[in-house]
């Protein structure tokens, strides 16, 4: 791995394009080794000097930045990079990046949604199946040796032909819909805008979507507008037999309210891959048979990570060659 310790401020004297690697010191990504032969990587996390002075030192030469996973990228940091034109986010969500500053500056951003869409959709559907059919509950029942003793395990319910509402019909949400159509489910969605080319029913707000759904699957980005988009009113509209699945961000749901609904039996079940204060998960959920939990792993498979690395490399090469970018995130 390259080290920038004790180096003077410089404009690279080789022919490799300069790319800034923005990461927390604890985030070690294989992207660095993959990109090193093709780009001159600047990595403040490898430098002994403060990040702000490192960035100021190299500011004029940095046109492209890779944001590793959910490393915060604030307006303060962006202001140290006046020549920045492109942010390549190695994540599907971009709530850790100051989007308003990017919009004002005209900075282009790409994210990893195309690399992660299929695996995230698989995980969302798996959570829905698990909640409905009590698969994890049955697994615990068998492993605990209860089958010969109690005989009967918790009864699940049919998933096929359910009315499923998808919140956020981006690439991941659309892949979820495609998969659920195969189960005979009726698909509807809520998104910032109606998508004319999509065969699913559109609802202008989440409350109406919940009223017409047996299950809600959250696939949208976390923004000021979507923070706690699932609240008491939405959960009441979903009803006692309703199921909620979240593969977006934890704060899309008012978690305290959801826990109370589940404990009281005011909602049918939940499949949660993300939480408001990760890795802390409300302990009240641990004993509930109608809740399935996973540790923020919906997007991660060996194949999706390989696709991510290829996407990051492709976008950087395209940018420095003045060619079209893939998976551009529309900042609104």
Catalytically active residues, by annotation: 249, 278, 296
Is 87 in contact with 315 (CB distance < 8 Å)? no
**How many CA atoms lie less than 13 Å away from 274 in the CB half-sphere?**
24
* Token couple for 241: 């037999």
Is 67 in contact with 90 (CB distance < 8 Å)? yes
Residues linked to residue 88 through DSSP beta bridges, in sequence order: 66, 110
The number of beta carbons lying within 10 Å of the beta carbon of residue 150 is: 10
Rg of the chain over CA atoms, in angstroms? 22
The number of beta carbons lying within 10 Å of the beta carbon of residue 73 is: 22
Is 159 in contact with 135 (CB distance < 8 Å)? no
Is 112 in contact with 90 (CB distance < 8 Å)? yes
- Separation of alpha carbons 241 and 219, rounded Å: 21
**How many CA atoms lie less than 13 Å away from 126 in the CB half-sphere?**
14
- How would you label 288-322 residue by residue, b for 16+ Cβ within 10 Å and e otherwise? bbbbbbbebebbebeebbebbbebbbbbbeebbee
């Amino acid at each position: 791995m390259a080290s920038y310790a004790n180096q003077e401020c410089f404009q690279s004297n080789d022919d490799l394009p300069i790319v800034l690697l923005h990461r927390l010191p604890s985030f070690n990504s294989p992207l660095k080794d993959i990109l090193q032969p093709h780009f001159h990587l600047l990595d403040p996390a490898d430098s002994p000097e403060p990040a702000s002075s490192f960035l100021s030192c190299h500011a004029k030469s940095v046109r492209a930045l890779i944001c590793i996973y959910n490393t915060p990228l604030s307006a303060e940091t962006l202001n140290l990079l006046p020549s920045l034109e492109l942010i390549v986010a190695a994540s599907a969500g971009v709530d850790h990046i100051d989007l308003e500053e990017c919009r004002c500056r005209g900075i282009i951003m790409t994210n990893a949604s195309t690399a992660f869409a299929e695996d995230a959709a698989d995980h969302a559907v798996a959570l829905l199946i698990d909640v409905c059919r009590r698969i994890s509950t049955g697994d615990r029942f068998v492993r605990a040796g209860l089958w010969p003793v109690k005989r009967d395990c918790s009864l699940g319910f049919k998933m096929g032909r359910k009315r499923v509402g998808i919140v956020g019909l981006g690439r991941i949400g659309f892949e979820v819909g495609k998969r659920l159509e195969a189960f005979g489910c009726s698909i509807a969605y809520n998104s910032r805008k109606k998508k004319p080319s999509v065969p699913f029913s559109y609802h202008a707000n989440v409350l109406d979507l919940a009223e017409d759904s047996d299950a809600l699957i959250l696939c949208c980005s976390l923004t000021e507008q979507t923070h706690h988009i699932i609240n008491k009113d939405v959960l009441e509209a979903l009803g006692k037999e309703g199921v909620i699945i979240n593969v977006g961000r934890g704060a899309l749901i008012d978690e305290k309210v959801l826990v109370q609904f589940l404990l009281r039996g005011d909602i049918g079940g939940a499949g949660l891959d993300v939480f408001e204060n990760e890795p802390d998960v409300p302990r009240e959920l641990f004993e509930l048979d109608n809740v399935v939990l996973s540790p923020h792993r919906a997007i991660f498979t060996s194949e999706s990570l390989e696709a991510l690395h290829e996407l990051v490399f492709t976008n950087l090469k395209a940018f420095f060659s003045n060619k079209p970018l893939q998976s551009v995130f529309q900042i609104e």
